[in-house]
Amino acid sequence: MKNRITLDVTGMTCDGCESHVGDALSSAGLAEVTVDWRRGVASGTDTGSFDKEAASAALESSAYDIVAVSSPPQPSPGTATEVTGDDGYDLLILGSGSAAFAAAIKARDLGATVAIVERGTIGGTCVNIGCVPSKALLRPAELFHESGHSPFVGIQTSAGDVDLAGLIGSKDELVGMLRQEKYAKLLDIYDIQLIQGTARFTGPSSVEVDGRTVNARRFLISTGASPWVPPIAGLDATNYLTSTTALELTDLPEELIVVGANAIGLELGQLFAHLGTKVTWVEALDRIAPFEEPEISGLMRGHLRDQGAEVYEKATAQRAGRTGDRVWLEIELGTDTTRLEADYLLMATGRRANTSGLGLDLAGIETDERGAVIVDAGLATSNPVVWAAGDVTTTPQFVYVAAASGNIAAENALRGAGRKIDFRTMPRVTFTTPAIASVGLTEAAARDTGLPVMTSILPLDAVPRALVNRDTTGVVKLVANEETGELLGAHILADGAGDVIQACVVAMNYHATVDEIAAMFHPYLTMAEALKLAAQTFNKDVGTLSCCAA
């Protein structure tokens, strides 16, 4: 039986190396050989006569060395479809977002044949309706707000009119360009087959696309997630907005109610607030930004209210409706009921996995109570020939997690590599103004582990960069092991927090202590210096130090 195998080869430095290695592998019994010196990978078809020792002997006098040989794991008897015909692939991927393309590129690097099935627009959530379009609107909205609220004495600025339709048009152009360059164009570059249609499992190892059977050795589910809206009486009559449709408005609402004040709700609500809309947030949990440190939630709440917004916490949406051109929402606050009115109602209440209609029950693939595919640390599902990655799974819903997961899942599926995803140093960023960024454990989570915990809290008015910017709304909180000093978590509310947090990610990756962080160079008059000052706060009163004092 023919078996496509992959070899990791060291020592290749040019196109000529590819030819030498390819000849050696062919002489050792490998057919249909391809070699890529840049990736240090060779692959070919073993018809039963390939001998690794013979290949190594053929390369013995050269600078090349075969360091690993692997092949896609063979399916258990009775569980996998025979790969035959033009539509037989090593890996069939359902979905075309970040997880899908990361997996497809990794699979092609390993010499596998790959097809992607997409029922709608290629590119998934991030480029089409998520990260890219929202941030493309958040930045100009922030600049518009700043132009009308200069904090500097002697500088007068003013904001003009908002052309929301023009802004949306500019966003759409950027989305179209990135979708082409970062997704569609890669299909030809990597020789990835795109199959347009709706895929569903018809058995443990069989998939149909619009009624046509597509065969593969291994499968990857990466169909993403969609906005989820809780059942609220009368809501359907309000023509409510979601995180998708809110980015398509061409007329600026005068008033907006946002239900949900986690990352998506805060970002989109502040987008409209910065453009001049009166925004009211309604959060069912104890506080806005409910999964961040309470110090961050409290400061963010005060900041939004200072900018003219209303914020309701511990508020449960009970009923909704429409009267003429206005929508209304009744919320329960303890024993009281309050009625809110606005031009639009934006539901930012989370996202749920796109698993409906995939036939997962027929494939024996387990999901949780919300429909997300359950995966282990290697992204394997309960079906031995199916992996899953991205927002469709139980892993955190971040695009960089999706991409990393897709890469790992593909290698595990095709080579049995045993790679695992580790979330210990996974950062998260909320693109509000000021931004929120975190990595690692909160104080409460760290104490729940039973570790001895110490914390430092640095207000932004202790950071020279913030003073120079005339913008001191914010805080840096570090969580560390009291006995060893190792940094366990970092939590920042500040301008540029999303960039500063990466230093914390690196520090945690190498198990740095807060004393080691404090001893490192941090450039003066940058927001990154706040990390050094926060680390010093464990042992010193930084308010009594001179500039840059160690």
Angle at 491 between CA 468 and CA 408, to 5 degrees: 125
Task: Please list, residue by residue across 330-344, b when 16 or more beta carbons sit within 10 angstroms of its beta carbon and e when fewer do.
Answer: bbeeeeeeeebebbb
From 14, 177, 520, 524, the catalytic residue = 14
Q: How many helices (H) and strands (E) does the chain have?
A: 16, 25
Closest CA to 379 of 408, 416, 358, 417: 408
**Cα distance between residue 1 and residue 270, in whole Å:** 60
3-class SS at 528?
A: coil
The DSSP bridge pattern shows strands 65-70 and 206-209 to be unpaired
User: Amino acid letter at 484?
Assistant: T
From 12, 347, 504, 508, the catalytic residue = 12
User: Amino acid letter at 405?
Assistant: S
SS3 of 384-396: CCEEECCCCECCC
C-alpha distances (whole Å) from 358 to each of 94, 295, 362, 394, 406 are 9, 42, 9, 17, 19
Active site residue 508: no
3-class SS at 327?
A: strand
For 421, the token pair is: 């995803």
From 17, 300, 347, 504, the catalytic residue = 17
Active site residue 547: yes
From 183, 426, 454, 548, the catalytic residue = 548
The DSSP bridge pattern shows strands 344-347 and 255-259 to be parallel
For 165, the token pair is: 């339709």
Is the separation of the CB atoms in 373 and 391 below 8 Å? no
Active site residue 177: no
From 1, 64, 190, 240, the catalytic residue = 64
Is the separation of the CB atoms in 522 and 543 below 8 Å? no
249 phi and psi, to 5 degrees? -60, 140
Chain centre to alpha carbon of residue 413: 21
Is the separation of the CB atoms in 272 and 256 below 8 Å? yes
Q: Which helix (H) or strand (E) holds 203?
A: strand 199-203
From 131, 190, 426, 454, the catalytic residue = 131
**Cα distance between residue 151 and residue 266, in whole Å:** 23
Closest CA to 330 of 255, 231, 230, 232: 232
From 89, 126, 300, 344, the catalytic residue = 126
**Cα distance between residue 402 and residue 421, in whole Å:** 11
**Active site (catalytic) residues:** 12, 14, 17, 64, 126, 131, 547-548
